[in-house]
Structure 1
Amino acid sequence: MQLSYWELKNWFTNVDYTIVGSGIVGLHAALRLREKFPEKKILILERGMLPHGASTKNAGFACFGSLSEIIDDLKSHTEEEVIQLIQKRWNGLQLLRKRLGDTTIDFKPFGGYELFLRDDESSYAECSNKLSFVNEILKPLFKAEVFAKEVDRFGFRGIHEYLIFNPFEAQIDTGNMMQALLKQAIAKDILILNQQTVTSFLDNQNTVEVALGDFSFTTKKLLFATNGFANELTKGAVKPARAQVLITEPIPNLDIKGTFHLDKGYYYFRNIGDRILLGGGRNLDFETETTTEFGQTEIIQKRLEDLLKEVILPNHDVKIDHRWSGIMGIGNSKKPIVTQLSENVYCGVRLGGMGVAIGSLIGTELADLV
């Protein structure tokens, strides 16, 4: 990379903070650093044309976990850990709304619903039995009952009569959210360079040498906000998880509004205006979906289409308009990793598929750690 004197001077000289990743976490970290250090030089390096992982590819759910997902988490985490996790997600959502404003992100508080396929009797029974208990442990946080049974009024087919309703869920416009964050960063004199891949870095105690292919520069502090791409960085504590998504063409007289969960959160759908966005299915093939490669597979796409035509919209002639995928960061624990890796290197990763909810808070925590 042959850079001019001007390029070296303005972008790569006297860099105070370099952030790898321009997604929700990276941008919030940068904005928080700018609040604390108005005069410092802050540089963001992004490997993609746009934020590369899931920040511009997610479904736009302002949620903190369905009832079945929370019950499932209670089997592998302590009650205190689950409550703390939900509190972080809830606080993160409020932080995001406060920073950007509900109008900007097209925040729509339609509530969230969980539905259960008729043959999934065990999960339905478990959620029915534990609904009161989960409400009780969440009441100190929400000051109200979070989950309640409601009769299905959407005309879904092949499901139990009752849905689990959560009035605290909402939907947002993911594109608007990320565009607004990028605009704020630029307005705050935060430098963003796209299509830059960090190939290596070396902490020299006083500074960090960062290599971009055959070119390198130094920065005082290096922060990684790479989530699903942080496997090597975290020595395996973060695994990539691909999420496949599709969206329909407009559907006349669509009467579905809200965010919807199915099968412990492995499937999710929502309306976007008069379209349906549907995603998930990695539980059909965990091994293949543990990847940083974008793309679709036949087994998951077929299942998504079957759910769409047999369960969600059984009386409609539905056409698929577009398909895509995103890369999440998961691990053995749902707790995000915000840590110092060496003297001048830090990371904020493993958002567990809850980036919209928790990303703003993790970015802020990452900056505060530095």
Structure 2
Amino acid sequence: MKSATYTPALPPLDRPTGWRPMDELVPVNVSGSIEASYDWLIVGAGITGLSAAMRLGEVAPQDKVLLVDARPVGWGASGRNSGFLLDLPHKFDLDHPDASRLRKIMTLNRSAIGVLKEQVQQFGIACDWSEVGKLQGAVKKRGTGMMAKFCEALDKIGERYEVLDRQGCAEIMGTQYYAGAVFTPGSVLIDPLLLVRGLARNLPENVMLRDDAAVVEFSGTSGRAEAKLRLPGGDTRTVSAAKVILATDPYTREFGYMRNRILPTITYASITRPLTAAERGRYSGQMNWGLTPADAGGTTLRMTADGRLLIRNHYGHAPKYKADGAYLAKVAEVHKEGLEKRFPSLGDLPITSTWGGVVSLSGNHATFFGEMAPNVFSANCYNGVGMTRGASSGRLLVDLAAGRNSEALEDIIAVSGKPSVLPPDPFLSLGVSGRMKLVEWESRSEL
């Protein structure tokens, strides 16, 4: 018996990531001939979908796999993030009292980083892979208090770290703006757009990618799922698959699942041009570092390997999955002021791009992983830790669907849960807007 048919909303044609020039963000593959039937259909060619496709090349090389995305690889959150591969539990996970749960998350993250490192080396993906660790920083008393909680969590799981004072921060970042930071050595910094596009160009032989094919209708059956794909020019193809992985994160609700449990949230980032030789002479810090805020409502900051500054803060509800152009202009001004406060010696350093990136949150901070319907699998609500969690989720969704048991699969199931039911609109939008404004006000000293 066929289930309901859904017409998913497509990712909007808003301003894309600023990591690379816009003319580089074109489809990786538009030439493969789409057949009527597949063993696997993967919807979404971000880090989750790409990782699932890579895994299918390892464990099911005889199966036919179709990987589709409505937009070019890197258009979505996997190309819009700040480029951290985090090895440690992050933000809300750290509040959990169970040390064994934190260790499971850490093990999953480190395994994902290890696999990505092997792929980057194997395929020669030039994505500024930098094993330089990260800082978790604080500006004032609110942030330093949260730094202390972070250290307590690290002590609980036996992880090493170094606490830096204002001068220690300045030696790395070239700014006296931060009162302190906690340095942990295991995170990796990357150019996320180059990473995912590099993976997309090196998919296994049994995987066909079409990152110009939009799913415009989707339905599941007791045996196979069906999807109608729309190609450029308006032509359509209908495909069926024995198993489906929805690597669609906030868009999963568009396919009929998690409809009242996913909160699409947008965060905003800006990036500058590379520092000139004269500016590098005035800059007193190191190159190639990254800082996340001790306060979840604070500011993420990076100095990239090629000498660009990236700043990320401000949040909003994104029911339409996009940023308003006029608001982006305001955010750019706020980000410019934030950089000038931190780096006055760099003067009027121009921002070359400001963009929004949509992630999915859950009301109870739970991440979903599993089978949503017979032979339809997904992972959702990464709560801002999408690159490492997405990489591990994609691979392990394949293992779950293929019946391949492992300790890693047991771990990801153990640390996942069921996102809570969200209230309907207009109560949801009003409540989320009010809550985010409150968080921004409480975190104003850390911006």
TM-score (norm 1): 0.83
* 8 Å Cα contact 1:157/1:310 also seen in 2: no
Partner of 1:319: 350
* 8 Å Cα contact 1:231/1:239 also seen in 2: no
* 8 Å Cα contact 1:242/1:328 also seen in 2: yes
Structure 1 residue 222, shift from structure 2 partner = 1.6
Give the length in aligned residue pairs: 346
Partner of 2:60: 37
Partner of 2:301: 269
Separation (CA, whole Å) in 2 of partners of 1:290 and 1:203: 25
Separation (CA, whole Å) in 2 of partners of 1:19 and 1:305: 39
Segment drifting more, 323-332 vs 23-32: 323-332
Deviations 1:38-83 (A, max 9, x none): 22110011011334421122221122468xx54x544467554444
The amino acid of 2:49's aligned partner reads G
Q: Is 1:21 the counterpart of 2:50 in the alignment?
A: no
Deviations 1:178-226 (A, max 9, x none): 12211221x5231112232223322222211212366533221121001
How do 1:1-370 residues align onto structure 2 when only pairs under 5 Å count? 10-64=33-87, 70=91, 72-75=92-95, 78-101=98-121, 104=125, 105-118=127-140, 121-128=141-148, 130=149, 132-139=151-158, 144-150=159-165, 151-152=168-169, 153=171, 154-160=173-179, 162-185=180-203, 187-212=204-229, 215-232=237-254, 233-251=257-275, 252-253=279-280, 254=283, 255-257=285-287, 258-266=289-297, 267-272=299-304, 273-282=306-315, 286-287=316-317, 289=318, 291-295=320-324, 297=327, 298-311=329-342, 313-317=343-347, 318-370=349-401
Structure 1 residue 291, shift from structure 2 partner = 4.6
Separation (CA, whole Å) in 1 of partners of 2:60 and 2:80: 31
Q: Secondary structure at the match of 2:80?
A: coil
Separation (CA, whole Å) in 2 of partners of 1:76 and 1:306: 35
The amino acid of 1:111's aligned partner reads G
* 8 Å Cα contact 1:347/1:366 also seen in 2: yes
Separation (CA, whole Å) in 2 of partners of 1:109 and 1:324: 26
* 8 Å Cα contact 2:322/2:356 also seen in 1: no
Unaligned regions of 5+ residues in structure 2, if any?
1-29, 231-235, 402-447
Q: Secondary structure at the match of 1:184?
A: coil
Unaligned regions of 5+ residues in structure 1, if any?
1-6
TM-score (norm 2): 0.70
Change beyond 3 A, Cα 1:225–1:147: farther
The amino acid of 2:272's aligned partner reads T
* 8 Å Cα contact 1:92/1:360 also seen in 2: yes
The amino acid of 1:167's aligned partner reads P
Separation (CA, whole Å) in 1 of partners of 2:294 and 2:147: 11
The amino acid of 2:178's aligned partner reads I
* 8 Å Cα contact 2:80/2:192 also seen in 1: yes
* 8 Å Cα contact 1:93/1:356 also seen in 2: no
* 8 Å Cα contact 2:135/2:181 also seen in 1: yes
The amino acid of 1:274's aligned partner reads G
Taking every aligned residue pair, what percent have the same amino acid on both sides? 18
The amino acid of 2:136's aligned partner reads E
Deviations 1:81-122 (A, max 9, x none): 44433332232222211232296333212221122223xx13
The RMSD of aligned alpha carbons is 2.7
Structure 1 residue 268, shift from structure 2 partner = 1.0
The amino acid of 2:393's aligned partner reads I
Q: Secondary structure at the match of 1:55?
A: helix
Q: Secondary structure at the match of 1:84?
A: helix
The amino acid of 1:137's aligned partner reads K
